[in-house]
Amino acid sequence: MNLNDIVKMQDLDLNNKKVVVRVDYNVPLKDGKVDNPKRITATEKTVKYLLEKGCRIVLMSHLGRPKGKVVEEYSLAPLVPEIEKAMGVKVHFASDCIGPEADEVVAAAKGGEIVLLENLRFHPEEEANDKEFAKKLAKHGEVFIQDAFGTVHRAHASTSAITEFLPSAAGFLIQKEVEFLGGALETPKRPFAAIIGGAKVSDKIMVLNNLLDKVNVLVVGGGMAYTFLKALGYTVGTSLLEEDKMEEAKNIMQKAKDKGVKLLLPIDHLCALEFAECVPTIITDGQDIPAGYMGLDIGPKTIKLFDEELAKCKTIFWNGPVGVFEMPSYQKGSFAIANTLVRLTKEGVITIIGGGDSLNVLKKAKISTSEVSHASTGGGASMEFVEGKELPGLTALLKKK
């Protein structure tokens, strides 16, 4: 899927319309206030475009996992000041997302104002993709704009069923995600490299197999790398290992060889005798890990190898850390990847980061997401996109629909 496949908000007549917008305002709260407003500010371009068109905007989102019940700590009410600050207009709050109270608040709002509906997931019908519930949500508008990429992999009432009742299109945030992720997968500037890290091969099998049909270079790091190394006959000590996935690892390596994809694994490791901070560490001479030791980060030779190979590429996709970056002692490898991407972005390389852990690496390394070409807001959605899965919330926006 690419940007030309979906209906964009610019394609619709939105002047003075009542517009329902699905946003992903699943933000962290602390002491009753928004702790990090990035997901709110990420929708600023879409919301301000609609405000300029004189639209009455009805924002709807989920927060947390209330499991179909009203849970006060998951109320969206604390978000109102942050939305007003970001968008610069009055925000009216409806204490439910459907029903008479919501209808009254929406009816009272004027063009150029915003209504925020209460948490969608206070109703079990939302996650059940219930059509009657979606129809009630659709009553709030004349047009539906999808701008919550983090939810498009879910067939929920506010992402899927609602599109049956209103003309629907993608907001600017969705467009940016499809432009970068779709463009990288379908028409990348080559050489195209993917760096896939994280703990388990089992979590990334579909991603790895799908990427092998598209990339020129595949870098494998993190805990999952030890399963690959063990499959090649190297010793991995007490490192994380999925013995039942060794055959799958062999198949992936064979597929890479058959397709002419350069598959890179760590060539040295930072190891310790236990999974802890402030314990003695060693760096291995090669790919073998001594008995009793566990690999917790890539070593300096690997950092140099990965940097040199990535520097030859024109498009790079990164998902997953290459070490236990949560502990300062084992951050060096993941920080090195992040800094390599920042440097290459300045040199004109297209750099795309997907997945919450990789974004957390940037945060810990004090690197702004603006220093790479694109940092996906999607988490699970971005990975399912890369896996090649159908995403119901995007399928609903296809032009052919």
At 247 the three-state DSSP class reads helix
Could you tell me the CATH superfamily of domain 3-172?
A: Phosphoglycerate kinase, N-terminal domain (3.40.50.1260)
Tokens 């939810």 belong to 151
Chain centroid to Cα 394, Å, comes to 14
The single residue listed with the structure tokens 């070409």 is: 373
Query: Where in the chain are the domains?
Result: 3-172, 181-387
- List beta partners, residue 193: 217, 316
| Amino acid in position 166 | L
Within 10 angstroms of residue 125's Cβ, the number of other Cβ atoms is 20
322, 298 Cβ separation under 8 angstroms: yes
pLDDT at 183: 87
Q: Give all strands (DSSP E) within 214-260, no chain letters.
A: 217-220
Q: E-strand spans in 180-310?
A: 192-196, 217-220, 262-264, 269-272, 281-283, 294-298
Estimate to the nearest angstrom the gap between the alpha carbon of 343 and the chain centroid. Answer: 22
φ/ψ (deg, to 5) at 349: -75, 140
Six-digit token string for 147: 């701008």
Q: 143-146 and 281-283: which strand pairing?
A: unpaired
CA distances for 362 relative to 194, 318, 341, 367, angstroms: 17, 12, 11, 5
Whether the CB-CB separation of 102 and 132 falls below 8 Å is answered with no
Q: In 260-352, where does DSSP find H-type helix?
A: 300-310, 332-346
Residue showing tokens 């566990």: 294
Give the pair of three-digit tokens for residue 71. 């849970």
- Tell me, what's the pLDDT at 172? 97
Does residue 83 sit in helix, strand or coil?
A: helix
Please choose, from the candidates 294, 283, 360, 280, the residue with its C-alpha nearest in 3D space to the C-alpha of residue 325: 360
CA-to-CA distance for 16 and 117, rounded, in angstroms?
20
CA distances 133 to 28, 90, 347, 370, Å, are 27, 27, 49, 38
User: How are beta strands 269-272 and 281-283 bridged, if at all?
Assistant: antiparallel
Which residues are known catalytic residues? 39, 200, 356, 380
Task: Please state, in angstroms and as integers, the Cα–Cα distance from residue 291 to each residue in 145, 147, 196, following that order.
Answer: 56, 50, 26
Q: Which residues pair with 374 in a beta bridge?
A: 352
pLDDT along the chain (401 residues), means of 10: 92 97 95 92 96 98 97 97 97 98 96 97 98 98 96 96 98 94 90 94 90 96 97 98 96 97 98 94 98 98 98 96 96 97 98 89 94 87 86 92 54
* CATH architecture of the region 181-387: 3-Layer(aba) Sandwich (3.40)
Domains 3-172 and 181-387 share a fold: yes
Rounded Cα distance between 226 and 324, Å, is 14
Question: φ, ψ for residue 289 (rounded to 5)?
Answer: -110, 125
pTM of the predicted structure, to 2 decimals: 0.89
Task: State residue 401's pLDDT score.
Answer: 54
